[in-house]
Amino acid sequence: MQEMILILDFGSQYTQLIARRVRELNVYCEIHPWNKVPELGPHIKGVILSGSPFSTRDPEAPKPDLSAIRGHFPLLGVCFGAQYLAHHFGGEVMPSSIREYGRANLAAVDQNNPLTKGMSVNSQVWMSHGDTIKKIPAHYKVIASTSDVEYAGYMIEGETTFGIQFHPEVYHSLEGGILLRNFIVEICGCHQTWTPDSFVDVTVQELREKLGNDKVILGLSGGVDSSVAAMLLHRAIGDRLHCIFVDNGLLRKNEFASVLESYKDLGLNVKGVDASGQFYDALKGLTDPELKRKAIGKVFIDVFDAESKLVTDAKWLGQGTIYPDVIESVSVNGGPSQTIKSHHNVGGLPDYMKLKVVEPLRLLFKDEVRRVGRTLNLPEAILGRHPFPGPGLGIRILGEVNAEKVRILQEVDAIFINGLKEHGLYDNVWQAGAIFLPVQSVGVMGDERTYENAVALRAVSSTDGMTADWCHLPYEFLALISNKIINQVKGINRVTYDISSKPPATIEWE
């Protein structure tokens, strides 16, 4: 089995960042709920305990059984994990007299310790805790402190067990990468062989074994995720992959034709299906975001059910689901992480649909998907394309969706996206789009009063969609785009720009 780091999730908002930092070291890792530990074996090179919204003093707090882990595998407790290792084994954790959230600096660090070697005194770290460790057991040794937290880091003597109160996985912990590399490479002995090339080789082999001679139907969207998933499946099973691109009436302007054109040279078997009428009918009268998502998901499934019956003996539905989709839709593997919103392609299929699901990218982040795509020699025009939500413009139209609102938003979106490309800004933005707002406002065009619709423009920078910051686009560019939209798109008389980051906002408005 492939060597890996096991991350036990206690519900922290940062658990997925730990996974990304581990993978950046070319080491494979998996997140599992603290109460659903997978089979332990020599393929597991080390274990990390995540943070948690719980206090270790809370009667409802997680209480993991570490008897098969501690002392048998290198172990690193982060925040709650560190507090648990101290509190449960004879130390004391109490509410902080000074709550530390945000930046702090190490006042002392043991530069001879295998975990903290190479780190600097005064190194900036990121804290996020309401409790603090007041006392550690006798055989625990302090290896890092801040001016306010004496036990910012410790090790258990005679073991490769460590605890740290700060979050090395967060970018604001400036030397967090040094600490994580020390643990994963030096202490755990990982070989750093998990690369895009190795992922392709392993995944293709696993797909061949899993699928055998079966046929697979895949929903193509023209985006990075479904394209990379298609190429992996194509490499594994060849022409037994049947790709379907559905026009749900919620695509960008002229996207249906352009996407079909882009796949001509890739050797994929692609069929286009216009189902826009079915989607519009299903969305009629719906305004609640979750209801709209579910309606779009249902029609999506219905269309694929109908199309699958046209492919003799098709047994699988391939999807481009990636890790952030899974994390936001459901708790990680049934664990304690918070559900944010449902995704149309996550959560399984209804009983009446007889296709099994295959998701070759389910454990990858967006940046990892792009690296795999380059290994597969996908065109940069596809790999560099901004993410676009599965429900399309249906979740960028606030309120009820209809064909006229879609037409208006398509025109607005085209002006915005083409403007980003023409001004050399497109590649500096991770995702951009326009939102049709459920408000009208007074305006003046010529000598006439107008009472028309408003739109919001959204552009963010990110690496994986888990967090995002709004892009500081030039005022001159925004003024030009706003003027074009108002002058060229009938029905719009006001343009706004969204300057919210994620968190607290999400990238999409619905």
Q: List, in sequence order, the alpha helices (H) in 312-428.
A: 323-329, 366-375, 380-383, 403-422
Residues 6+ apart with CB under 8 A from 358: 207, 210, 211, 216, 233, 316, 317, 318, 319
Q: How far apart are CA 245 and CA 444, in angstroms?
A: 42
The two structure tokens encoding residue 337: 């992480």
Write down the catalytic residue from 3, 100, 150, 169. Answer: 169
Q: Could you give the CA distance from residue 355 to residue 319 in angstroms, rounded to a whole number?
A: 12
Per-residue burial over 322-336, b = 16 or more CB atoms within 10 Å of its CB, e = otherwise: bbbbbbbbbebeebb
Q: How far is CA 291 from CA 15, 198, 343, in A?
A: 29, 40, 12
243 is catalytic: no
| Burial status of residue 476 (CB atoms within 10 A of its CB: 0-12, 13-18, 19 or more) | exposed
In angstroms, rounded to a whole number, what is the distance separating the alpha carbons of residues 350 and 353?
Answer: 6
Name the catalytic one among 3, 29, 79, 328.
Answer: 79
Q: What Å distances lie between residue 436 and 20, 262, 429, 443, 455, CA to CA?
A: 34, 28, 20, 17, 5
Angle, CA of 342, 344 and 350, to the nearest 5°:
100
Rounded to whole angstroms, the Cα distance separating 168 from 177 reads 7
The Cα–Cα gap between 12 and 106 comes to 23
Q: Give yes or no for a contact between 473 and 459, defined as CB atoms under 8 angstroms apart.
A: yes
Rounded to 5 degrees, what are φ and ψ at 9?
-95, 125
H or E element in which residue 45 lies = strand 44-49
Q: Give the 3-state secondary structure of residue 359.
A: coil
- Smallest Cα–Cα separation from 72: which of 143, 161, 4? 161
Beta strands in 75-185 (DSSP E): 75-78, 92-109, 124-135, 140-146, 153-156, 161-164
Task: Decide if 245 contacts 261 (C-beta within 8 A).
Answer: no
Token output for 505? 């906002």
Catalytic member of 167, 234, 242, 344: 167
How many Å apart are CA 349 and CA 305, to the nearest integer? 10
Place of tokens 């959560």: 347
Q: Please list the active-site residues.
A: 79, 167, 169
